[in-house]
Amino acid sequence: MREVYLDNSATTRPLPEVVEAMVKTLQDNYGNPSSLHNKGLEAEKILKEARQKIARRLAASPEEIIFTSGGTESNNLAIKGIAYQYQNRGRHLITTEVEHPSVLESFLALEEEGFEVTFLKADRYGRISLEDLRESITPETILVSIMHVNNELGTIHPLADIGKIIKERNPNTFFHSDCIQSFGKMLIQPARNLVDLVSISGHKIHGPKGIGALYKRKGVELRALQTGGGQENGYRCGTENVPGIAGLIPALDALPDYTEQNPCNQELDRLRKYFIKGLEKIDRKVIINSPEDGAPHILSVSFPGTRGEVLVHSLEAKGVFVSTGSACHSKSREKSHVLRSIGLPMEQIDGTIRVSFSTYNTIEELDYALEVLAEQLEIFF
């Protein structure tokens, strides 16, 4: 059966060269990067190359990149690492209601430990108010964590404006951003935008699962969450996932270069716009939840009166893969905290699917998905 994968925000298919690099590393370059002999040096070279490539994409220096096991760990390390390290300066933290659970749960855990956390509200499109942010920052605030692109809606937060507000209000407040959905799809310039910490993940860019990184600006300290052999300058101990890191290299190489003149992936934007046009031709009520100026690869769409889970499975039966709300919710009965937080009515939330694109999708695939979607809506609802 034909397979059209449109769940690229949940994860992406690894590129053939990613798989090849991983297999080669497992078979040949299996040394421990901490070993002194040649096998160790070979592995260390892989780490060095990947670190440089990530740094280049973030206009950072390689010493500012810490390898982790993925986005979840990067978020935990940034948030808890800053909170524990700087708790003597203040115990107030700020985040938003629409973050990924790896961020929200980190803050909830800190709240239980006695930190005070402000959860900023978002509007109908998942945007926080910059005025609310400004007013929330106090001399006690040690960290603000705001995601770049929302994984359920595609909403983009203006990192440069946020960074400026934070540092104006309190130059000692650190700014962390979960850039897991934006990395590889748009320009990210942490130093320029006054972002101190940035989380990224390998499997959202056609790389391997179980590998990610945290950018930590030089001079920012972190309390390590796991101690051990001193790897990653002591910030993340444990023998590095060398095959995963090797797989990151071709995934990074395949990404387009973004500049201020070309800050966003045009190809993805074209696919998303094409899909929206196709949805408009479907003869029933369709509500686009994503903002028009959102990320180019994420589209949240509701068909009131339908059930997202039923739709996901009926599309799957025809080889089309999408998700309900977000991946982390698709197996849970709980309604998406993001869609609830932006105030969507229950009927709309129930009938929501998320379609997310990759530059490897084709217009022909989208035509097929739209045809199947129209057909399944007719049959089931």
Ligand X SMILES: Cc1ncc(COP(=O)(O)O)c(C=O)c1O
Catalogue the active-site residues: 328
180 scored as a contact of ligand X (CB under 6 A): yes
Site track for ligand X across 204-243, x = CB under 6 A: --------x-------------------------------
Question: For residues 255-314, which are near ligand X according to CB under 6 A?
Answer: none
CB of 283 to ligand X, least distance (A): 33
- Residue 46 CB, nearest approach to ligand X (Å): 20
Q: Contact letters (x/-) for ligand X, 313-332, by CB under 6 A?
A: --------------x-----
Pick one of 96, 106, 151, 300: the residue that binds ligand X (CB under 6 A).
151
Interactions with ligand X, residue window 101-140 (CB under 6 A): 102
Pick the closer one to ligand X by CB: 180 or 194: 180
Residue 6 near residue 361, CB atoms below 8 Å: yes
**Helix, strand or coil, per DSSP, at residue 24:** helix
Does residue 176 bind ligand X (CB under 6 A)?
no
* Nearest distance in Å: CB 280, ligand X: 27
Q: Which is nearer to ligand X, 194 or 205 (CB)?
A: 205
201 binds ligand X (CB under 6 A): yes
In eight-state DSSP terms, residue 318 is T
**Minimum distance between the CB of residue 219 and ligand X, rounded to whole angstroms?**
25
Give the count of residues interacting with ligand X (CB under 6 A).
15
Q: Which of 100, 157, 176, 206 binds ligand X (CB under 6 A)?
A: 100
How far does the chain reach from its first CA to its final CA, in angstroms? 24
Contact residue for ligand X among 21, 79, 143, 147 (CB under 6 A): 147
Q: Rounded distance, CA 99 to CA 95, Å?
A: 8
Site string for ligand X, 44-73 (x = CB under 6 A): --------------------------xxx-
Three-class SS state of 365? helix
355-379 CB burial, b ≥16 within 10 A, e <16: bbbbbebeeebbebbbebbbebbee
Contacts for 155-158: CB closer than 8 Å, 24+ residues apart: 155/98, 155/122, 155/125, 155/126, 155/127, 155/290, 155/291, 155/294, 155/295, 156/182, 156/186, 156/293, 156/294, 156/295, 157/127, 157/128, 158/130
Question: Which strands form 116-120's sheet, in the order they lie side by side?
Answer: 65-68, 212-216, 197-201, 174-178, 141-145, 92-96, 116-120
Task: List the structure tokens of 113.
Answer: 């430990």
Please name every residue paired with 355 in a beta bridge, in sequence order, or none if there are none: 299
Residues that bind ligand X (CB under 6 A): 70-72, 75, 100, 102, 147, 151, 178, 180-181, 201, 203, 212, 327
